[in-house]
Structure 1
Amino acid sequence: MTDPQVAIMMLALFIFVVMLGFPIAFTLMAMGVIFGYYAYYDPERMTSIFDNRIFDLFVNQTYSVMSSDVLTAVPLFLFMGYIVERANIVDRLFTSLRIAAKNVPGSMALASLLTCALFATATGIVGAVVTLMGLLAYPQMLKAKYEPSYASGVICAGGCLGILIPPSIMLIVYSATTNVSVVKLYAGAFLPGFMLAGLYMIYVVTRAVLNPKIAPPPSEDDTADISGWALYWLMLTSFVPLALLILSVLGAILFGLATPSEAAAVGSLGGLVLAAAYGSLTWERLKESVYLTVRTSAMVCWLFVGSWTFASVFSYLGGENLVKEFVISLDLSPIMFLILTQIIIFLLGWPLEWSEIIIIFVPIFLPLVTHFGIDPLFFGILIALNLQTSFLTPPMAMAAYYLKGIAPPHIRLTQIFAGCMPYLGMVLLAMVLLYTFPGIALWMPEYFYGH
C-alpha cells in the first residue's frame, strides 16, 4: 500500500472504531501514535523501540495545546456558564418573560426560546441549556396543555443556539483549529445567531396562531398575581443583570477592549457576583461548577492533543493531498463545494459531536476552502449553523435524548423527534439566507475590523 492509501485506511479505521463506542480523544491519540510509528519508522536511525519521532511529535502537540492562549478562554466561559446555571437566575428570567409575553400566542414557548437564547449566550453548553430548560419550562408547558411535540421542539431547538450565538465555545475551538480571529468569528456569528433565533420565534408564534389548541393561552390564575410595577421589578432584577453581564463581556471583546480570555475572566467574576447577589452562591454549587469546568475543559484539550497528532500523521502520509486532489478533480464550483461540505458535516453530525467534527475534519477541508476562494470565517459560521442539525436530527439527536432523560415517563422519544423536525427546516432556511446574503455574517467583521 502507498502512504496516501494508508492515510485513508487510518481515517476509515478511526470512524469504524468510534462507531463501536470507544472514547474519541484516546482513539485519536492511539491511531496517531500507531500509524505515526509506521510513518516515521527509520530502522537506520533507531537505537531502541522508542526512538521514533512520533513520540516527540506527541509531546510537542500536548505542550502546544496546553499553552494555547486562545483555548484559555474555554474554561473561563465554561465556568461562567456553569455558575450562572446553578444560581437560579434562569428561573427568574423565564418567569418574568412568561408573564411579560402572556398576551402573545404561544407565550410560554416564546418565553422559553427567549430564555434559551439569552442563557445560551451566557453558557454555550447545549446539554446544560436543554436539561435546565427541560426541568424548568417543559413541565409548565405540559401543565398548561401544550402539545408535547410542540413543547419538546421549543426546548431542544432553543437549547442548541449556544453553538452559534457568541460567546460560543465552538467558535473558540474553530478559531484555535483554523487560526481565524475569534473576535471576528464572534462578530460574524452575532447576526446569523439571532436571525436563527428570530426564525424559531416566528415559527412558534405562527403555529400557535394557526392552531391555538397546541398552545392554549395562559389562564388568569397563572398571571394574576404579578402585574404592573411588580412585573417591571421582576424584569429589572432578572433580565437586566444577566443581559448586562453578557453585553459587557461581548462588548469588551467586539470593541477590542479585552481579549476573549480577559473578557471571559471578567464574565466569570460577574457570574460569581450575580450568584452572590441572588443568594445562590454556596460552597457546593461553586465546587460543582469548578468540577464540571475542569472535566469539560480536559475533554476539549485532550481532543485537541489527539486530533492534532492524528492530523499531523494523516497529512505526513499524504492523505490531505489525496483528498484535495480528489475534490479538485470533481471540477466543482465554489457553491457546489460548499453544499458538498455542508452535506458531509450534516452526516458526520449523526455519529460525532461538534467538537470532533471541528477538530478532526475541518483541518482536512481547510486547504480546499482556500483553493475555492471561500472566506474561512464565512465557512466557520456556516458550519456553526449546520451543527444545529446534529443535535436535532433523528436517530442521533442528542438534544432529544437530553430532554428525554428528564421528561415525564409518558413523553415518547418519537414525540420529541417530531417536535424537532420543523426546526431543521428553519436551520436550512437560515443557511440558504446566509448563502444568498453572505453580508449577514460578513458585515460586522468588515465594519468593525475591515475584514
Structure 2
Amino acid sequence: MTEPQIALFMLGLFIFLVFLGFPIAFTLMAMGIGFGYYAYFDADRMWRSFNRLDEMASSWDSFSLWIEGFFNNRIFDLFINQTYTVMSNEVLTAVPLFLFMGYVVERANIVDRLFTTLNIASKNVPGSLGVAALITCALFATATGIVGAVVTLMGLLALPAMLKARYDPSFASGIICAGGTLGILIPPSIMLIVYAAASGTSIVRLYAGALVPGLILVGLYLTYVIGRSLLQPSVAPKPKEGEVPDMPTGQLILLLITSFLPLAFLILAVLGSILFGLATPTEAAAIGALGGMLLAVAYRALTFQRLRESVYLTVRTTAMVCWLFVGSYVFSAVFSYLGGESVISEFVSGLNLTPLQFLLLAQLIIFLLGWPLEWSEIIIIFVPIFLPLLEIFGIDPLFFGILVALNLQTSFLTPPMAMSAYYLKGIAPPEVRLTQIFAGILPFLAMVFISMAIVYIFPQAVYGLPELFYGR
C-alpha cells in the first residue's frame, strides 16, 4: 500500500472503531501514535541504539537501551508537543470558565423562578406555556451551552406543567428539545470557542457573526409555536380561569426584575464585554463564572455540595474536550504526513464544484456525521478536514463556522439518533412515547433548515455585525 492509501485506511478504521463504541479521544491518540510510528519510523535511528546492546554489562542496561531504541521515534515528540500546545491554548481557557458558569446557574434554582415568571407574564399570548418554555430554554442554553443539562432540567420543570395544561405531548416535547440545543449557536457558545481553536478564526468575530442567525432561529421557533397555537388551539389550550394566577402589574415587574433580569444581565454583560472589546473571551468567561456564583449566593442556593458538583462536572467536560483536541491534532498530523489530506483535496478539486455546491456537500456530510457523533467530535475531528478546502473555493471560515453551528442543531434533532429526544425521554412521564417526541421535533428541524437557507441567501446576516464592530 502507498502512504496515501494507508492514510485513507487509517481514517476508515477510525470511523469503524467509533461505530463499535470505542472511546473517541483515546482511539484518536492510539491510532495517531500507532500509524505515526510507521509514518515517522527511522530504521537507522533505532538500530544505532540497538547496536550498542553488546556493550552493556547488565541485562537491565540492555533492557533500558532496548526501550530507548524503541521509543526513539518522532511520533512521541509530536504527541508531547501537541499535548502541551492544547493545554496552553489561550482560547480553550475560556471553556472551563463558561462551563463552570453554566453548571452553577443550573444548580441555583434560577431557571425555576424564570420559567414561572415568564409563564405569568405571557399568559395572554397563544401557547403561553410553550413561549415561556422556549424563552427560558434560550436564556438557559445561552448561559450553559450544555444541551443535555438544558433539555433534562427543562423536561423536569416545563414538560409536566405543559402536560397538566393539556398541551399535546408531541408539541410540548418538541419545544423543549429544540430550545435546549440553542446554546450550540447563540453566544457565548462553547462550540464556537472550540471551532475558533480548531480553525484559527477570531472568536470575537464568530460571536458577532452568530448573534443574528441565532436570533433568526429563535424567532422562527417562536413564530411556529405561536402560529400553530393559533391555527390548532387543541395542541396548546388557553389556560382556564385560575390556572395562571392574576398578578398586579407592579408585582409582576418586581418578579421579572428578580428572576429574568439577573440572568439576562449576566449573559449580556459577558457577551457585551467580548463584542465591544472590553475583555477577552477568557476574561469575560471569568467574569461570568464569578457572576454565576454571585447569583447563586443572592438566591441562597450556593451550597458546598452544589459547588463541588459544578467543579467536578466542569473538570470532567473540560478534560474530554482537551483530550479530544490532543488526539485530533496527533491523528490529523499523521494523516496529513501520509498524504491523506492531499488525496481528499485533489479529489474534491477534481469534482469541479462551485463554492455553493461545496458548501452544500460539506453541510450534508456534517449533517450525517451528527447522527452517531457529538458536536465536539465533529468540530475537533472532521471539520479540520474541510478547512484546507475553504481557501480553494474562496469561502470565509467565519461564514463556514456559523453554517456548521446551525447545522449541528440538527445532530440533536434528527431521528432516529436525536440525542435531545433521548435526554427528554429519560426523565419524561411514561405515557410520553419516544415516537411522540420524534414527531414533535420534526417541525423544529424544518425551522433549522429554513434558517440555514436564509443565511445562504442573505450572508450579510453573518457578516453584518462583525463588519459593523470590527470592519472587514
Query: TM-score normalized by structure 1?
Result: 0.99
Aligned to 1:213: 234
1:37 corresponds to 2:58? no
Shift of 1:142: 0.6
Aligned to 2:409: 388
Aligned to 1:224: 245
1:253 corresponds to 2:274? yes
Q: Deviations 1:135-172 (Å, cap 9, x if unpaired)?
A: 11011001111001100000000000000000000000
Aligned to 1:328: 349
Aligned to 2:100: 79
1:372 corresponds to 2:393? yes
Rounded to whole Å, the distance in 2 between the matches of 1:410 and 1:291 is 34
Shift of 1:72: 0.3
Number of equivalenced pairs: 451
Rounded to whole Å, the distance in 1 between the matches of 2:152 and 2:295 is 21
Shift of 1:233: 1.0
> What runs of 5+ residues in structure 2 fail to find an aligned partner?
50-68
Rounded to whole Å, the distance in 2 between the matches of 1:219 and 1:31 is 61
Residues 7 and 335 of structure 2 are in contact (CA less than 8 Å); yes or no, is this contact kept in structure 1? yes
Aligned to 2:57: none
Aligned to 1:175: 196
Aligned to 1:118: 139
Rounded to whole Å, the distance in 2 between the matches of 1:328 and 1:221 is 65
Rounded to whole Å, the distance in 2 between the matches of 1:378 and 1:167 is 17
Shift of 1:299: 0.4
**1:222 alignment partner, SS class:** coil
1:233 corresponds to 2:251? no
1:274 corresponds to 2:295? yes
Residues 217 and 451 of structure 2 are in contact (CA less than 8 Å); yes or no, is this contact kept in structure 1? yes
Rounded to whole Å, the distance in 2 between the matches of 1:332 and 1:274 is 52
1:197 corresponds to 2:218? yes
**2:41 alignment partner, SS class:** coil
Aligned to 1:135: 156
Shift of 1:225: 4.9
Rounded to whole Å, the distance in 1 between the matches of 2:247 and 2:113 is 13
Rounded to whole Å, the distance in 1 between the matches of 2:184 and 2:404 is 10
**Aligned counterparts, 1:40-189, within 5 A:** 40-46=40-46, 47=49, 48-189=69-210
Q: Which of the two has higher C-alpha Rg?
A: 2
> What runs of 5+ residues in structure 1 fail to find an aligned partner?
none
Rounded to whole Å, the distance in 2 between the matches of 1:39 and 1:305 is 18
Shift of 1:230: 1.7
Rounded to whole Å, the distance in 1 between the matches of 2:289 and 2:198 is 24
Aligned to 2:54: none
Aligned to 2:56: none
Rounded to whole Å, the distance in 1 between the matches of 2:77 and 2:260 is 51
Residues 205 and 466 of structure 2 are in contact (CA less than 8 Å); yes or no, is this contact kept in structure 1? yes
Q: Deviations 1:361-383 (Å, cap 9, x if unpaired)?
A: 11110111111000100000000
Aligned to 1:243: 264
**1:281 alignment partner, SS class:** coil
Rounded to whole Å, the distance in 1 between the matches of 2:153 and 2:101 is 15
1:419 corresponds to 2:419? no
Shift of 1:222: 2.3
Aligned to 2:64: none
Q: Deviations 1:259-288 (Å, cap 9, x if unpaired)?
A: 000000011100111100011011111110
Shift of 1:220: 2.2
Rounded to whole Å, the distance in 2 between the matches of 1:73 and 1:220 is 48
Shift of 1:229: 1.7
Aligned to 2:53: none
Shift of 1:130: 0.5
Rounded to whole Å, the distance in 1 between the matches of 2:452 and 2:411 is 14
Rounded to whole Å, the distance in 1 between the matches of 2:346 and 2:118 is 53
Percent identity reads: 71
Identify which of 310, 313, 316 aligns with 1:292.
313
Residues 270 and 288 of structure 2 are in contact (CA less than 8 Å); yes or no, is this contact kept in structure 1? yes
Q: Which shifted more, 151-160 or 214-223?
A: 214-223
Q: Which shifted more, 31-40 or 220-229?
A: 220-229
Aligned to 1:20: 20
Q: RMSD value over aligned CA atoms?
A: 0.7
Aligned to 2:360: 339
Q: Deviations 1:243-264 (Å, cap 9, x if unpaired)?
A: 1111110010000000000000
Rounded to whole Å, the distance in 2 between the matches of 1:265 and 1:219 is 45
Rounded to whole Å, the distance in 1 between the matches of 2:276 and 2:134 is 28
AA in 2 matched with 1:404: K
Rounded to whole Å, the distance in 2 between the matches of 1:148 and 1:20 is 34
Which 4+ stretches in 1 moved above 3 angstroms? Answer: none
AA in 2 matched with 1:8: L
Q: Which shifted more, 228-237 or 338-347?
A: 228-237
Rounded to whole Å, the distance in 2 between the matches of 1:169 and 1:274 is 21
Shift of 1:49: 1.1
Rounded to whole Å, the distance in 2 between the matches of 1:3 and 1:326 is 16
Rounded to whole Å, the distance in 2 between the matches of 1:227 and 1:85 is 29
1:360 corresponds to 2:365? no
**2:306 alignment partner, SS class:** helix
Rounded to whole Å, the distance in 1 between the matches of 2:374 and 2:267 is 26
Residues 266 and 288 of structure 2 are in contact (CA less than 8 Å); yes or no, is this contact kept in structure 1? yes
